[in-house]
A = this chain, B = another copy of it.
């Protein structure tokens, strides 16, 4: 994964909400995802690799394995949405904290994800953010200054 590289704590502009003052104690991985060609599968690959490096995989229990698979599903949804609704994903950032994985996807659109309500299980469409909501302990949007797009993030707790 040649393009995944660590960031330094002082990379303020790119850090997530609330990290402005707190030191970055957690491992971080950043990957540029320009365009849409193959990026969804690639985002899963990078995430899977991080899950191995950070001890989520190989999983010790079926529950732990399911949580790791949930993370792959969520990253797939976030990157797909950036492609479908925001002209492409820019960057994927992964942050591992004890018992928590934070996934961040940046794009250049100012519009936030708007989960469709009510959710309808029988119809195509509107399942992506519903899945994110169901699988994640929290998720949100950070709007970048000067209209430079946004970051959609989601946090998954470990088993």
Contact = CB atoms under 8 A, between A and B. Distances in A.
Contact of A114 (B16, B111, B117): B111
Contact of A110 (B16, B115, B147): B115
Interface string A137-159: 11111111101001101010000
Nearest to A113: B112
A100 interface: yes
Interface string A1-28: 0000000000000011111111101100
A144 B133 CA distance: 9
Oligomer copy total: 2
Interface residues of A, number: 38
A82 to B, nearest CB: 16
Given A110-B115, A113-B112, A142-B138, A97 B133 contact: no
Interface of A: 15-23, 25-26, 97-98, 100, 102, 110-115, 117, 133, 136-145, 147, 150-151, 153, 155
